[in-house]
Chains A and B, each alone.
Chain A
């Protein structure tokens, strides 16, 4: 079963708008990671947030983590056409021994 579930499954926005994707998970975690996948390519790591952190920034990316609600969100500000990709959250559960469990992803389309 999937540990992480992303919401929405698909998101279409205009260039310059902000995009928000959400992830929910089921068990206690060591950290939560977000990855991007361009069509036909492997996953690329975006950001890692530890269980004792609540918010993290990297460039136009902002990630929040609420361990009480077992949820995380990824915000991409001022989106660009090049941000078009699938975005996955992945959790490193406390009992996983560094294995990640991935959600099914959000397909983001940014229209020029």
Chain B
């Protein structure tokens, strides 16, 4: 069965370090998305991609970057981790805008 997997599931790191969260989907979807989920804010869009070599900024993109070198993967990088980036991060993919998004189980990131 097709799936979307995120790794690691949990990570603790220190401020100032670079952190990369992995997202891999086997749906063969062109659209991929990264969200963060914080209490009181629901899910907020960080970055998204409509295909290979395409990346776009979302609502809360400062301090984050993504790259799309193939269809299956969209890694999220925190260039210099800050305590405000402590959150749960979700990756999702979809075939197009009229189809639902499929979510991974998230990465819980703590920055001390």
A residues apposed to B, CB below 8 Å? 2, 30-31, 33, 35, 40-45, 48, 50, 88, 92, 96-105
Contacts and interface: CB of A to CB of B under 8 A. Distances in A.
Interface of B: 31, 33, 35, 40-45, 48, 50, 58, 90, 92, 94, 96-106
A98 B94 contact: yes
Max count, chain A CB within 10 A of own CB: residue among B31, B43, B58, B94 = B43
A92 B43 CA distance: 14
Nearest to B95: A98
Contact of A92 (B90, B97, B104): B97
Given A30-B97, A48-B100, A98-B96, A42 B90 contact: yes
B42 A104 contact: yes
Contacts of A35: 103
